Amino acid sequence: IDATADLVCAYKPQFAHYAAYRAEDQLERTIEYIHKTHPGVPVILDAKRGDVGNTAERYAVEAFERYGADAVTVNPYLGSDSLEPFLKYADRGVVILCRTSNPGARDLQDRLIGSRKLYQVVAELAAQRWNSRGNCLLVVGATYPADLAEVRALVGDMPLLVPGVGAQRGDVAHVVRNGQTARGTGLIISSSRAILYASSGEDFASAARAATQQLRGEINSSRTRPA
């Protein structure tokens, strides 16, 4: 964290990789550490929650109060009332899965509903209904850059969280070109394994920093800057 905090726009710890090892306390302490030492860098808890009303409320408490996350990823399959308990935390971000970066994303997300694919319906619902407090973001994988352009066209300047560069081999320049807003902003491009495992030696921190600098350079050199 200390090796990269001046280079990144956010951290996105992945819940499963703590939960499988009974390491919830380490997740709590990691987020607390980021907030304390790098208060300008928000933390997105990647937990992909999705449940009915009273249970979704408990998940919102878990993410925002217990872990103190600034944002959390959620799954839209259960619809509006499963998202509202998160959305009502108006000062926190709710990052809704839209078009994910994995091969199986096709199974449901690409199904045609009239003239729209399911992920486009999710993008429209986010833009038109779920974003009344201005705290929605969407997940759109880097591995499908054409879909990123489709989503950008539907959601205005809504920020997009883009996993799938690095280990999943999405193309950064293509992602930026298709996903950025008119002002060259609006993207949170996430890289996990390519940075975390940049080196397994004692130079892991400097190797992680170098990998982060490289990705940051690639992102920024592809951005359209307003004149």
Note the residues at the interface with a second copy (CB under 8 A): 14, 16-17, 19-20, 22, 24, 48-53, 55-56, 58-59, 61-62, 65-66, 75-83, 97, 100-109, 111-114, 118, 121-122, 125
d(CA 222, CA 60): 36
Among the listed residues 12, 36, 48, 117, the single catalytic one is 48
Nearer to a second copy by C-beta: 62 or 222? 62
Contact 44/161 with Cβ under 8 angstroms?
Answer: yes
Structure tokens at 143: 């591995």
Token look-up 């939960």 returns: 19
* Residue 56 CB, nearest approach to a second copy (Å): 8
Whole-angstrom distance, CA of residue 189 vs CA of residue 142? 8
Residue 34 burial (10 A CB sphere; 0-12, 13-18, 19+): buried
The smaller minimum CB distance to a second copy, of residues 22 and 36, is found at 22
**Least Å distance between CB 19 and a second copy?**
5
Decide: 189 and 175 in contact? Cβ < 8 Å. yes
CB of 217 to a second copy, least distance (A): 26
Residue 48 annotated as catalytic: yes
The residue among 65 and 203 lying less far from a second copy, judged by its C-beta, is: 65
Q: Which residues are catalytic?
A: 48
